Amino acid sequence: MKVLGLTGSIGMGKSTAALAFRRLGVPVFDADATVHRLQGPGGRALAAIEAAFPGTVRDLPGGRRVDREALRRAVIGDDAALNRLERIIHPLVRDEERRFLARARRAGRRLAVLDIPLLLEGGGQRRVDTVVVVSAPAAVQRARVLRRRGMTPERLAAILARQMPDAEKRRLADHVIHTGLSRHAAQRAVRALVRRYAGPEARPLPPAATLC
Protein backbone atom coordinates (compact mmCIF):
# COMPACT_ATOMS: atom_id res chain seq x y z
CA MET A 1 0.00 0.00 0.00
CA LYS A 2 1.26 3.46 -0.92
CA VAL A 3 1.00 6.16 1.74
CA LEU A 4 0.63 9.70 0.44
CA GLY A 5 1.35 12.63 2.74
CA LEU A 6 -0.92 15.60 1.99
CA THR A 7 0.16 18.94 3.42
CA GLY A 8 0.14 22.67 2.85
CA SER A 9 0.08 25.91 4.78
CA ILE A 10 -3.09 27.45 6.16
CA GLY A 11 -5.54 28.62 3.51
CA MET A 12 -3.93 26.73 0.64
CA GLY A 13 -6.92 24.47 -0.05
CA LYS A 14 -5.74 21.27 1.60
CA SER A 15 -9.17 20.41 3.00
CA THR A 16 -10.69 20.66 -0.48
CA ALA A 17 -7.98 18.38 -1.86
CA ALA A 18 -8.56 15.87 0.94
CA LEU A 19 -12.28 15.84 0.14
CA ALA A 20 -11.46 15.16 -3.52
CA PHE A 21 -9.40 12.10 -2.49
CA ARG A 22 -12.27 10.84 -0.32
CA ARG A 23 -14.76 11.25 -3.15
CA LEU A 24 -12.54 9.05 -5.30
CA GLY A 25 -12.69 6.31 -2.67
CA VAL A 26 -9.28 6.90 -1.07
CA PRO A 27 -9.23 6.68 2.75
CA VAL A 28 -7.91 9.88 4.33
CA PHE A 29 -6.56 10.34 7.84
CA ASP A 30 -7.39 13.86 9.06
CA ALA A 31 -4.86 14.86 11.72
CA ASP A 32 -6.75 18.03 12.69
CA ALA A 33 -10.03 16.14 13.15
CA THR A 34 -8.16 13.57 15.23
CA VAL A 35 -6.85 16.30 17.54
CA HIS A 36 -10.40 17.60 17.96
CA ARG A 37 -11.62 14.12 18.92
CA LEU A 38 -8.77 13.67 21.39
CA GLN A 39 -9.74 16.96 23.04
CA GLY A 40 -13.50 16.40 22.81
CA PRO A 41 -15.90 14.61 25.18
CA GLY A 42 -14.32 11.37 26.32
CA GLY A 43 -11.10 12.22 24.47
CA ARG A 44 -7.89 10.44 25.38
CA ALA A 45 -6.00 13.72 25.86
CA LEU A 46 -8.31 15.34 28.42
CA ALA A 47 -6.65 14.17 31.63
CA ALA A 48 -3.13 15.04 30.50
CA ILE A 49 -4.17 18.47 29.20
CA GLU A 50 -6.03 19.33 32.40
CA ALA A 51 -2.98 18.30 34.45
CA ALA A 52 -0.63 20.40 32.33
CA PHE A 53 -2.96 23.37 31.82
CA PRO A 54 -5.40 23.54 34.76
CA GLY A 55 -8.75 25.08 33.95
CA THR A 56 -8.66 24.40 30.21
CA VAL A 57 -10.91 21.32 30.43
CA ARG A 58 -14.46 22.34 31.24
CA ASP A 59 -18.07 21.21 31.20
CA LEU A 60 -19.33 22.74 27.98
CA PRO A 61 -22.33 22.10 25.72
CA GLY A 62 -21.95 18.55 24.47
CA GLY A 63 -19.93 17.33 27.44
CA ARG A 64 -16.68 17.79 29.31
CA ARG A 65 -13.97 18.75 26.84
CA VAL A 66 -11.10 21.12 26.17
CA ASP A 67 -12.04 24.79 25.96
CA ARG A 68 -10.00 25.43 22.81
CA GLU A 69 -9.91 29.20 23.25
CA ALA A 70 -8.70 28.85 26.85
CA LEU A 71 -6.02 26.41 25.72
CA ARG A 72 -4.96 28.73 22.92
CA ARG A 73 -4.54 31.55 25.44
CA ALA A 74 -2.50 29.25 27.69
CA VAL A 75 0.08 28.48 25.00
CA ILE A 76 0.12 31.51 22.70
CA GLY A 77 3.48 33.24 22.77
CA ASP A 78 4.91 30.62 25.14
CA ASP A 79 7.14 28.15 23.30
CA ALA A 80 7.67 26.01 26.39
CA ALA A 81 3.91 25.66 26.94
CA LEU A 82 3.34 24.87 23.27
CA ASN A 83 6.04 22.20 23.35
CA ARG A 84 4.43 20.72 26.46
CA LEU A 85 1.10 20.52 24.67
CA GLU A 86 2.67 18.93 21.60
CA ARG A 87 4.32 16.27 23.77
CA ILE A 88 0.84 15.31 24.95
CA ILE A 89 -0.94 15.43 21.60
CA HIS A 90 1.57 14.17 19.05
CA PRO A 91 2.05 10.62 20.41
CA LEU A 92 -1.73 10.16 20.59
CA VAL A 93 -2.19 11.36 17.01
CA ARG A 94 0.59 9.05 15.82
CA ASP A 95 -1.13 6.14 17.55
CA GLU A 96 -4.41 6.95 15.78
CA GLU A 97 -2.50 7.27 12.49
CA ARG A 98 -1.00 3.79 12.90
CA ARG A 99 -4.44 2.35 13.60
CA PHE A 100 -5.83 4.05 10.49
CA LEU A 101 -3.08 2.64 8.28
CA ALA A 102 -3.54 -0.83 9.76
CA ARG A 103 -7.26 -0.70 8.90
CA ALA A 104 -6.50 0.44 5.37
CA ARG A 105 -4.01 -2.40 4.87
CA ARG A 106 -6.47 -4.98 6.22
CA ALA A 107 -9.05 -3.62 3.76
CA GLY A 108 -6.64 -4.25 0.89
CA ARG A 109 -6.20 -0.60 -0.03
CA ARG A 110 -3.59 0.33 -2.60
CA LEU A 111 -3.44 3.98 -1.50
CA ALA A 112 -4.09 5.87 1.74
CA VAL A 113 -3.66 9.58 2.46
CA LEU A 114 -2.34 11.21 5.64
CA ASP A 115 -3.69 14.78 5.79
CA ILE A 116 -1.23 16.47 8.14
CA PRO A 117 -0.82 20.29 8.17
CA LEU A 118 2.69 20.26 9.70
CA LEU A 119 3.92 17.10 7.96
CA LEU A 120 7.20 18.61 6.75
CA GLU A 121 7.81 20.75 9.84
CA GLY A 122 7.72 17.59 11.96
CA GLY A 123 9.81 15.41 9.64
CA GLY A 124 6.74 13.35 8.75
CA GLN A 125 7.91 12.88 5.16
CA ARG A 126 9.90 9.91 6.47
CA ARG A 127 6.61 8.13 7.27
CA VAL A 128 5.12 8.41 3.79
CA ASP A 129 5.99 7.19 0.30
CA THR A 130 5.26 10.45 -1.49
CA VAL A 131 4.61 14.06 -0.44
CA VAL A 132 1.89 16.20 -2.02
CA VAL A 133 1.88 19.91 -1.22
CA VAL A 134 -1.20 22.06 -1.84
CA SER A 135 -0.26 25.59 -2.82
CA ALA A 136 -1.83 28.90 -3.87
CA PRO A 137 -0.54 32.45 -4.38
CA ALA A 138 0.07 34.37 -1.15
CA ALA A 139 -2.67 36.91 -1.92
CA VAL A 140 -5.22 34.12 -2.43
CA GLN A 141 -4.10 32.41 0.76
CA ARG A 142 -4.40 35.60 2.81
CA ALA A 143 -7.85 36.44 1.43
CA ARG A 144 -9.13 32.93 2.19
CA VAL A 145 -7.84 32.88 5.75
CA LEU A 146 -8.98 36.36 6.72
CA ARG A 147 -12.54 35.43 5.74
CA ARG A 148 -12.60 32.91 8.59
CA ARG A 149 -14.49 33.86 11.73
CA GLY A 150 -12.23 35.17 14.48
CA MET A 151 -9.17 35.41 12.23
CA THR A 152 -7.07 38.58 12.34
CA PRO A 153 -3.92 39.63 10.47
CA GLU A 154 -1.98 39.27 13.71
CA ARG A 155 -3.23 35.76 14.34
CA LEU A 156 -2.50 34.78 10.74
CA ALA A 157 1.05 36.10 11.09
CA ALA A 158 1.56 34.02 14.25
CA ILE A 159 0.30 30.89 12.48
CA LEU A 160 2.52 31.45 9.44
CA ALA A 161 5.53 31.99 11.70
CA ARG A 162 5.18 28.35 12.85
CA GLN A 163 4.83 26.99 9.32
CA MET A 164 7.51 26.29 6.76
CA PRO A 165 7.40 28.83 3.90
CA ASP A 166 5.32 27.68 0.95
CA ALA A 167 8.27 27.88 -1.44
CA GLU A 168 10.27 25.51 0.78
CA LYS A 169 7.36 23.09 1.00
CA ARG A 170 7.02 23.07 -2.77
CA ARG A 171 10.75 22.39 -3.09
CA LEU A 172 10.45 19.33 -0.83
CA ALA A 173 7.29 18.01 -2.50
CA ASP A 174 7.07 15.10 -4.91
CA HIS A 175 3.89 16.65 -6.34
CA VAL A 176 2.27 20.09 -6.04
CA ILE A 177 -1.45 20.73 -6.39
CA HIS A 178 -2.10 24.34 -7.36
CA THR A 179 -5.44 25.55 -6.00
CA GLY A 180 -5.19 29.17 -7.10
CA LEU A 181 -6.18 28.33 -10.68
CA SER A 182 -9.60 26.74 -10.34
CA ARG A 183 -11.30 24.03 -8.33
CA HIS A 184 -11.58 21.89 -11.47
CA ALA A 185 -7.84 22.09 -12.09
CA ALA A 186 -7.12 20.94 -8.54
CA GLN A 187 -9.61 18.09 -8.86
CA ARG A 188 -7.96 16.95 -12.09
CA ALA A 189 -4.61 16.92 -10.32
CA VAL A 190 -6.05 14.76 -7.53
CA ARG A 191 -7.58 12.32 -10.04
CA ALA A 192 -4.22 12.03 -11.79
CA LEU A 193 -2.51 11.16 -8.51
CA VAL A 194 -5.13 8.55 -7.66
CA ARG A 195 -4.74 6.92 -11.07
CA ARG A 196 -0.97 6.90 -10.66
CA TYR A 197 -0.83 5.43 -7.17
CA ALA A 198 -4.07 3.45 -6.81
CA GLY A 199 -4.86 2.50 -10.39
CA PRO A 200 -8.37 1.71 -11.61
CA GLU A 201 -9.41 0.11 -8.33
CA ALA A 202 -10.11 3.45 -6.62
CA ARG A 203 -13.79 4.28 -6.77
CA PRO A 204 -16.34 6.27 -4.77
CA LEU A 205 -17.43 4.55 -1.56
CA PRO A 206 -20.69 4.66 0.37
CA PRO A 207 -20.39 6.45 3.75
CA ALA A 208 -20.43 3.17 5.67
CA ALA A 209 -17.24 2.06 3.93
CA THR A 210 -15.08 5.01 4.91
CA LEU A 211 -12.14 4.34 7.19
CA CYS A 212 -11.78 7.71 8.87
As annotated, the binding site includes: 11-16
Exposed/middle/buried for 80, CB within 10 Å: 0-12, 13-18, 19+?
A: exposed
CB contact at 8 A, 168 and 6: no
Binding annotation for ATP:
11-16
CB contact at 8 A, 25 and 109: no
Nearest to 10 by CA among 90, 117, 114, 86: 117
φ/ψ of 175, rounded to 5, equals: -140, 150
Rounded Cα–Cα distance for residues 150 and 146 (Å): 8
Provide Rg for the chain, Cα atoms: 18
How many C-beta atoms lie closer than 10 Å to residue 68's C-beta? 14
Rounded Cα–Cα distance for residues 36 and 157 (Å): 23
